[in-house]
Structure 1
Amino acid sequence: MAGSGYKELLRVPGVGRIIAAQLTARFPNGMASLAILLHVQHATGSYGAAGLVLAASSIGQAVSGPVTSRWMGRWGMRPVLTLTLSICVLSFLGLAFFSFLPLAGYVVLGLIAGLSTPPIQSAARTIYPKLVNSSQLTPLFSLDASLQEIIWIVAPVVITIVSTQVGTVQGLLLVAAVLVGGGAWFILSPEVGRVRIPRSRRGFGAVVLKPPVMLATVTGFLLIGACAAVEVGVVKTFDHGGLEAGLVLAVFSVGSLVGGLASGRVPMGPWAMARRLTIVAVGLALTMLSLNVFWLGGTLLAAGIGIAPALAVLFAITSASVKFSETAEAFGWAGTGQLIGAAAGSAIAGFLIDSMHSPTGAYLAAACFAAVALIVSVVFVRHFPDLRGRDAAPMPDTEVVPLP
Structure 2
Amino acid sequence: MAGYRDLLRTPGVARMIAAQLVARFPNGMTSLGILLHVEQQTGSYGAAGLVLAAASVGQAAAGPVTSRWMGAWGMRRVLTLTLTVCVAAVLCLALLPLTLPGYMAFALLAGLSTPPVQAAVRTIYPKLVNSSQLTPLFSLDASLQEIIWIIAPVVITVVSTQVGTTQGLLLVAAIMVGGGIWFISAPELGRVRIPRSRRAFGRVVLKPPVMLATILGFLLIGACSAVEVGVVATFGHGGLEAGLVLAVFSIGSLAGGLTFGHIPIGPWAMARRMLIVTVGLGLTMVSLNIFWIGGTLLLAGIGVAPALAVLFAITTASVKFSETAEAFGWAGTGQLIGAAAGSAVAGILIDLGGPTGAYAAAALFAGAGFLVAVACVKAFPDLRHRDPSPLPDTEAVPVTPA
TM-score by length of 1: 0.97
Mapped to 1, the partners of 2:246 and 2:152 lie a distance apart of 12
Secondary structure of the 1:393 match is coil
Task: Tell me the secondary structure at the aligned position of residue 293 of structure 2.
Answer: helix
Partner in structure 1 of residue 272 of structure 2: 275
C-alpha distance 294-353 of structure 1, shift in aligned 2 (>3 A): same
What are the superposed Cα offsets for residues 144-168 of structure 1, whole Å, 9 maximum, x if unpaired? Answer: 0000000000000000000000000
8 Å contact from structure 1 (residues 138, 391) kept in 2: no
Q: Does the CA-based 8 Å contact 1:281-1:370 persist in structure 2?
A: yes
The CA deviation at 1:396 is: 0.6
Deviation for aligned residue 1:242: 2.2
Aligned counterparts of 1:222 and 1:147: Cα–Cα separation in 2? 21
Separation of aligned partners in 1, 2:319 and 2:288: 44
Contact 1:324 1:397 (C-alpha < 8 Å) held by counterparts: yes
Shift of 1:342: 0.1
Residue 388 of structure 2, aligned match among 385, 392, 403: 392
- Where does 1:5-404 land on structure 2 (aligned, <5 Å)? 5-98=3-96, 100-240=97-237, 242-356=239-353, 358-399=354-395
The amino acid of 1:278's aligned partner reads L
- Percent of aligned pairs with the same residue? 77
| Letter aligned with residue 288 of structure 1 | M
Structure 1 distance, partners of 2:368, 2:103, is 36
Q: Which amino acid aligns with 1:142?
A: S
Distance 1:392 1:332 in 2: 19
* Partner amino acid, structure 2, of 1:397: D
In structure 1, how many angstroms separate the alpha carbons of the residues matched to 2:81 and 2:238? Answer: 36
User: Distance in 1 between the 2:131 and 2:264 partners?
Assistant: 13
Q: What one-letter code is carried by the residue in structure 2 that aligns with 1:251?
A: V
- Structure 1 residue 22: deviation in Å? 0.2
Q: Deviation per CA, 1:301-346, whole angstroms, max 9, x where unpaired?
A: 0000000000000000000000000000000000000000000000
State the shift of 1:211 in Å.
0.2
Normalised by the length of structure 2, the TM-score is 0.98
Deviation at 1:240, TM superposition (A): 2.9
Mapped partners of 1:75, 1:385: distance in 2: 31
CA deviation after TM superposition for structure 1 residue 239, in Å: 1.9
Cα separation, 1, equivalents of 2:120 and 2:264:
25
- How far has the Cα of 1:391 moved from its partner? 2.3
Q: Is the contact made by 1:235 and 1:241 (CA closer than 8 Å) also made in structure 2?
A: no
- Once the two structures are superposed, residues 68-88 of structure 1 have per-residue CA deviations (whole angstroms, 9 ceiling, x without a partner) of 000000000000000000000
CA drift of 1:389 comes to: 1.6
Secondary structure at the counterpart of residue 337 of structure 1 = helix
Deviations 1:70-119 (A, max 9, x none): 00000000000000000000001000110x21110000000000000000
SS in 2 for 1:255: helix
**Conservation of the 8 A alpha-carbon contact between 1:276 and 1:310:** yes
Structure 2 stretches of 5 or more lacking a match? 397-402
Deviation string, structure 1 residues 220-246 (Cα, Å, up to 9, x no partner): 000000000000000000023521100
Query: By how many angstroms is 1:364 displaced?
Result: 0.3
